[in-house]
Every structure is written in structure tokens, then in C-alpha cells.
Amino acid sequence: MPYRAIALDLDGTLTNHEKVVTPKNREALLQAASQGAVIILASGRPTYGIEPVAECLELQKRGGYILSYNGGNIVNAQTGEKLFTQFLPDEVIPVLYKYAREKNHALLGYAGNEIITEMPDDQYVKEESRINKMNIRKVENLLEALEPHPTKLLMTGDPSDMLKAEQELLDMVGDKMDVFRSAPFFLELVPKGIDKAQSLRRLLAKINLTPADMIAFGDGYNDLSMLKLAGMGVAMANAAPEVRADADYITLSNEEDGVAAALEHFGM
């Protein structure tokens, strides 16, 4: 087998527009796992939002790993053991909250299996709910309702507004945390130095593999770092142009079983 680890973004990559893993992609990954490949689900989703995909791929039985919050958490899918976690600095959270309120952007956090926000009717908050199959709970004051030491917050809004917010927040708090778009309408607010590549390096070291042993699949801006890290970085046909430009290989789209097609191409 040319690659011993398979790192997969979910939305726009492994899952289709209905946010499900197609039978062909599932079969290809189960086959690769049966031959010894380590499956790693690497997503900006919270852990709870990744677990249904892990169950679909039988990671609890076969083994594998979940990198949630864009790498802020690493979880052993078989044992539930948390191998790594990092939190947002406490002092930046009021700054983010104040900015969101002033600009009238939706800001959300996570509490167990719920999304919490002051703006439950925002269309992009609803999209985050749909993606993760998590209920939305309206709160009067997000700052007071957040669980202590969150790993990630998410700001949502029209793409042009999020592009502007990304730059303004980087100027305000970019020395203390990372700010980037995982989709044109999603602005990820995460700890400094957290991205998929950094967490994959941590995980690969723990399981005695190297980046050269890994094939990685992605479509979004937050996947670029892991595609560059991997021995083989595969972009979906539906990926952002910058992602396709930096990939080693371009496969079919997420609607066309692109993951399965690439695994077959590389003899996995």
C-alpha cells in the first residue's frame, strides 16, 4: 500500500451535498482500512459533528482518529481518549463577542451536542446546524453561556463581510489566536498555531508514521496546510482554485465519489 494513513476533510470532500458518505466512498475506505491504512477524519466540525461519520466508517471497531475543531482536539475514535486539546485564550473571547455584536455578525459556540448562539435564525448558523446534525439553542448572552475554555468559536455572515472581518480580527487579535475562513461564510476562531497540518504532525508522530506515509484529501482553504504536508495532497474537483493549484493531484468532485476514485488511482 503506497500510503499508510488517509486524512480526510469532511464537508465538500468526503461527504456529498446531503452531508453523507456515499456507499462507494465508504466501501473504498473500509477496504483501505482492512489493508492496514489508518483513517483520520480532519474537520473544522466539533467532535460531536464528526462522530456520525466515524461510526459510518466503523472507526470505533477498526480504529482511527478524529481531528475536530480544525485540529484543536485529537481523539482516538476507538477508545475515546483525547490525545491533544488546546483552548482559546480567555482574554480574546470578550473581544470577539464585542466585535460580533457591533458588526451584527452571528457568533456561535458549542455546548455538548448543541450549538449556542444569540442569533438562531441566521441562515449560516442554520447551515452549521445542518452540517453537524446539532440542535441550535438560543441564549440571551453568549459570553455568559459559553462553557469554560472553548476550543473554537465560529462567526458567520455574508462572504464579503467575513472577508473583511477576517482581516479586521487578525489586526486586533492575530498575535493571540488564529482567524481564517473554512468556507466563504464561516470564519473560524481558534487557538494560535492550530491547523490541520500541525495536529496531523502531532498525531503521526504518536503512531510512528511520517507525513510521507499520508495521503490527504480536501477542498477548502483550511485544508491547504494538510495537503502540502502530506506525501500526496489530493484536491477535489470542486475545491477552491487556490487549493487545486497547490494540490499534487485533482480527483473527481465530492458528488462523484472523488475519494474512492483517487484511492483506486493510487492502488489503495
pLDDT digits (tens, 9 = 90+) for 91-134: 999 999 999 999 999 999 999 899 999 999 999 999 999 999 99
Per-residue pLDDT, 21: 98
Q: How far apart are CA 197 and CA 211, in angstroms?
A: 9
Per-residue pLDDT, 1: 83
Helices (H), 20-86: 23-34, 47-56, 59-62
**225 Cβ partners below 8 Å, 6+ apart?**
195, 196, 197, 198
Q: Contact at 8 Å (CB) between 180 and 220?
A: no
Ranges of residues in the chain with a pLDDT under 70 are none
Per-residue pLDDT, 112: 85
- The string of pLDDT tens digits covering residues 238-262 is 999 999 999 999 999 999 999 999 9
Q: How far apart are CA 183 and CA 217, in angstroms?
A: 16
Per-residue pLDDT, 193: 83
Q: Cell 508514521 appears where?
A: 209
Which residue in 121, 109, 98 sits closest to 48, CA to CA?
A: 109
Per-residue pLDDT, 217: 98
Q: Which amino acid is at 195?
A: D
Per-residue pLDDT, 183: 86
Per-residue pLDDT, 69: 92
